[in-house]
Amino acid sequence: EPEEMKGLDETERQNLLEDRALPTTQADAKVELWSLFRHRNVWGMMIGFFCMNFATYFFVTWFPTYLTVAHGFSLKELGTLGAIPALMGIPGSLLGGIVSDTLYRKGFSLTAARKTCLISGMLLSSVIAFAAFTDSITVILTLFSITYAGLAFTAANIWTLPADVAPASNYVATLGGIQNFAGNLAGIVTASFTGLMLSLSHGSFVVPLLVAGGICVLGALTFMFVLGKLEPLPISSKPDANVIATANQ
């Protein structure tokens, strides 16, 4: 059992036992799927993940083409130098988790710890836009490495959000699926938008890179202003008061 792990202090052990003994009304909560979309935090998670994945899917779909077509990389260079940004995602992801947990342990609220990392990671990723203004391979790989590390740093915290805001433990995966659905829409948009821009500009990656950087900034703003306090969503069929207040404004 988790509470029997070596190295757990008494506070952590008690937290595990208390979580397991959730009141029946919360543990067995029945929440209408569509009612989750009434909450501001769910939209913050969806939009933020979309913004993060917009840049991520540039790497997945168009990054090899960018290096070979725009900068003349050979297949060998693509497999060696082109791998550097992805490798930087490893320490970026680890740091994302470590920094968030460290801030929380040092007295930051859960909201402050998560949002600090989400916002800073997205702002760091926005440097991808500067690659549009240089032909230096060293500078380009540095910028893309920073971008990939920033995206991984953000992702480590994005995937804590479903558990942070789930109204009950049996809705963590549901919120994770909703968030991931929105994020993967970015794959469709990024691949299509980049291809369209390349056709219209006769092969120039300037617009796709600038837009990717701008959407990273939009993601940071989303996590700053749309994502609210990280706490379990209220188990209610009524709309979130925050949504009503926002609509009235």
In angstroms, the Cα distances linking 70 to 141, 144, 201 are 13, 15, 13
Helix ranges (DSSP H) in the chain: 10-20, 24-27, 40-61, 63-65, 71, 75-80, 84-105, 110-125, 137-158, 161-165, 172-200, 206-221, 241-248
Residue with the larger pLDDT of the pair 201 and 249: 201
pLDDT band at 7 (very low <50, low <70, confident <90, very high): confident
The string of pLDDT tens digits covering residues 12-26 is: 888 888 877 655 445
Q: In CATH, which of 1.20.1250.20, 1.20.1560.10, 3.40.50.2300, 1.10.3720.10 is domain 46-73+80-248?
A: 1.20.1250.20
pLDDT of residue 135 exceeding 90, the answer is: yes
- Chain-wide mean pLDDT for the chain? 91
Give pLDDT tens digits for 139-173.
Answer: 999 999 999 999 999 999 999 999 999 998 889 99
Going by C-alpha positions, the residue among 230, 228, 238, 231 that lies closest to residue 40 is: 228
Q: What is the pLDDT of residue 61?
A: 96
Q: Is the per-residue pLDDT at 187 higher than 90?
A: yes
